[in-house]
């Protein structure tokens, strides 16, 4: 089995890759290393975990030059420390793969939009607590979601060329709404 850092390394070398391309590479890598072929459930768990940790990210075919229509691609993410398997160049030759260019300005717009949606949903969740009795555990969950959103914003803002500062006000607005809720609930 490969590591999450090797997964990020494979994707980083290719620029962007589909899940099927990644599966083929992992299969070839297992054969070259004389390892047991990776179970599809283990593979799915690996890339889902890497997505959750923002070691890899999904992008659409519109963000990848020369991509097939309606394909989802994976790129290395803001928290990735890619580890490139030394066998990868041989596998790329065997599978006749080439590097894809990713339009990071389009990626920035897409991630900005995604974070705006998360901020909007969090604001709506905060608003749903107004007029209701809210306990410290509810507030703690909201604060955790806000903290996750803020950390994601900083990760993406640093990672993407030109950043995504156009959503800073929306994220700060979530903080203000959360503080207002805490004040209203006397927490």
Q: What is the pLDDT of residues 78-91, one digit of tens each?
A: 999 999 999 999 99
Confidence of residue 187 (pLDDT cuts 50, 70, 90): low
pLDDT band at 68 (very low <50, low <70, confident <90, very high): confident
The helix/strand/coil state of 166 is: helix
Q: Would you state the CATH architecture of domain 4-95?
A: Orthogonal Bundle (1.10)
pLDDT band for position 129 (cuts 50, 70, 90)? confident
User: Which pLDDT score is estimated for 166?
Assistant: 81
Q: Are 53 and 4 in contact (CB under 8 A)?
A: yes
Q: Where are the domains of the chain?
A: 4-95, 104-184
Length of the chain: 187
Full-model pTM: 0.88
Task: Give the pairing of strands 56-60 and 72-76.
Answer: antiparallel
Query: Rounded mean pLDDT of 167-173?
Result: 90
């Amino acid at each position: 089995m490969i590591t999450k850092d090797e997964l990020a390394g494979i994707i980083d070398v290719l620029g962007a890759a589909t899940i099927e391309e990644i599966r083929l590479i992992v299969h070839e890598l297992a054969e070259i290393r004389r390892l047991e072929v990776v179970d599809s459930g283990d593979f799915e768990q690996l890339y889902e975990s890497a997505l959750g940790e923002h070691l890899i990210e999904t992008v659409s075919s519109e963000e990848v030059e020369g991509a097939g229509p309606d394909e989802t691609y994976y790129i290395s993410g803001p928290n990735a420390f890619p580890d490139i398997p030394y066998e990868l160049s041989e596998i790329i030759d065997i599978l006749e793969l080439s590097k894809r260019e990713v339009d990071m300005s389009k990626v920035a717009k897409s991630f900005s939009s995604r974070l705006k949606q998360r901020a909007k949903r969090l604001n709506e969740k905060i608003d749903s607590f107004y007029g209701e009795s809210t306990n410290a555990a509810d507030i703690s969950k909201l604060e955790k979601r806000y903290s996750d959103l803020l950390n994601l914003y900083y990760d993406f803002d640093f990672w993407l060329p030109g950043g995504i500062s156009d959503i800073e006000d929306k994220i700060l607005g979530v903080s203000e709404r959360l503080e207002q809720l805490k004040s209203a609930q006397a927490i």
